[in-house]
Structure 1
Amino acid sequence: MNLFRLDASILPGTSGSAEIADIAEAEWTAAHPGATVTRRHLGTDPLPADAWALATTAAFTPEADRGPAQREAVALGAALAEELQNADAAILAVPLYNFGVSQHFKTWVDLVIAGAGPTTPLLKSTPTVLVTTLGGGYGPGTPREGWDHSTPYLERILADVWQAELTVVKRELTLAATNPAMEGLRGLAEQQHSQALAAARDAGRALAGS
């Protein structure tokens, strides 16, 4: 058994998404002692920003005419796609940044697609937990309703393109504890925190039993 774990927080020491994902992972590893966990942390070990462009242009270049950088980018995309496709289960911890996904996560997605092709269902029938955290509130009736441009994208890629059996654990208001302007939301933020931890535990158990 092989669990693929991806993190994308740029603040690994205080990551709210990692805290939640750790709980789901612990449930999976408890059910599969000794199994392999393949880790990739895009926040601490980002991929080269130009690799996607190099891999994409290489696809339109005869192999004999490709430069060393193009060859390296093509190999990287293929390796990332294989890493994902080999997973029996997956956990991805991806925070929202600036109302969308971070550039280093987008680079990873684009490189995987370059390596596998745009329609390859890399996670077909693979139980997958997506943990996503948001500093503010974006739900119905909030001032920034509709500003979450991250979660729909993540669901589109993981569930629709890669065809994962997807469970989403989402926590909002992560900045309430430290932002004075959000002091009045701290009670609700703590409630959402507790709910997310419980949801992660349930998701991890379901992941382990799949």
Structure 2
Amino acid sequence: MTTLLHIDSSVFPGEASSSRSVAAAFRWTWEEQHPEGTVIYRDVAANPVPHITAAAWSAGSAAPVERSAEQSAAFAARLELIEELEQADAVLIGAPMYNYAIPSTLKAWLDNVILPGRTSGERPSAQGTPVVVVASRGGSYAPGTPREGYEFVQNYLEAVLKGSLGLELDFIVPELTMAPRNPAMSELIPLYEASRKRAFEDASAKAKELAERIAA
């Protein structure tokens, strides 16, 4: 039985969110391939995980018998998130760009699951687990565009998910999502529509390919 860990972080619900919509298409195809599988779902926008605290951070490097009651409680919350990551056969993350970076709620989840000596370090405990990130954004930050230098979502997530956690990383990037709502971007609507169509196609294709590879 396979397990998909699905993290959403958009503040917008349902179809109002490009990252949620594309991630839902991935998940639908995944579940079609694995009808008996398990999906662990966390909506960190609707139900935020605790931001990292001194107690939660320091508990990670302390022996269980040496932890205070506060540290033990804080680490228990981190451990639940860490074990979900470790038990997943694949990970799906919706990561919209807010002010050039990921939502703070997604950063909080990452701060909790990154534990040196366990999930990060020489032998990361979830190393090799495939992760697909739906990195939506209102404009375009692709190489060669005027705002290329403001792209801090893919760069950051590659450093953390691939570099620190050792995950096998892939991106789906629906862009120009503000074009239908911003009159100044109206001429970019055809590019937005093409990007959106491609994102949904990529989501279905990647979910099917990954599901089949894991099941083999």
**How high is the TM-score relative to the length of structure 1?**
0.90
1:78 matched residue in structure 2? 79
Q: For structure 1, which runs of at least 5 residues remain unmatched after alignment? A: none
1:127, distance to aligned residue in structure 2 (A): 2.5
Equivalent residue letter for 1:200 = A
User: Contact conserved, 2:134 with 2:173, CA < 8 A, in 1?
Assistant: yes
Q: Pick from 129, 135, 157 the counterpart of residue 132 of structure 1.
A: 135
**How high is the TM-score relative to the length of structure 2?**
0.88
Q: Distance in 1 between matches of 2:168 and 2:103?
A: 23
1:64, distance to aligned residue in structure 2 (A): 6.0
1:124, distance to aligned residue in structure 2 (A): 1.9
Q: Distance in 2 between matches of 1:58 and 1:33?
A: 38
> Per the alignment, do residues 69 and 27 of structure 1 end up closer, same or farther by CA in structure 2, a change over 3 Å counting?
same
| Identity across the alignment (%) | 35
User: Contact conserved, 1:52 with 1:107, CA < 8 A, in 2?
Assistant: no
Post-superposition Cα deviations, 1:18-66, rounded to whole Å, max 9, x if no partner, equal: 11111111111111112111111111100123x3432113346676674
User: Contact conserved, 2:114 with 2:165, CA < 8 A, in 1?
Assistant: no
2:94 matched residue in structure 1? 93
2:158 matched residue in structure 1? 155
User: Contact conserved, 2:8 with 2:43, CA < 8 A, in 1?
Assistant: yes
2:199 matched residue in structure 1? 196
> Per the alignment, do residues 114 and 124 of structure 1 end up closer, same or farther by CA in structure 2, a change over 3 Å counting?
closer
CA RMSD of aligned residues (A): 2.0
Q: Distance in 1 between matches of 2:160 and 2:181?
A: 32
Tell me the secondary structure at the aligned position of residue 159 of structure 1. Answer: helix
User: Contact conserved, 1:84 with 1:122, CA < 8 A, in 2?
Assistant: no
Farther-moved stretch of structure 1 (53-62 vs 75-84): 53-62
Tell me the secondary structure at the aligned position of residue 90 of structure 1. Answer: strand
The number of residues matched between the two structures is 209
2:47 matched residue in structure 1? 45
**Mapped pair 1:121 → 2:129:** no
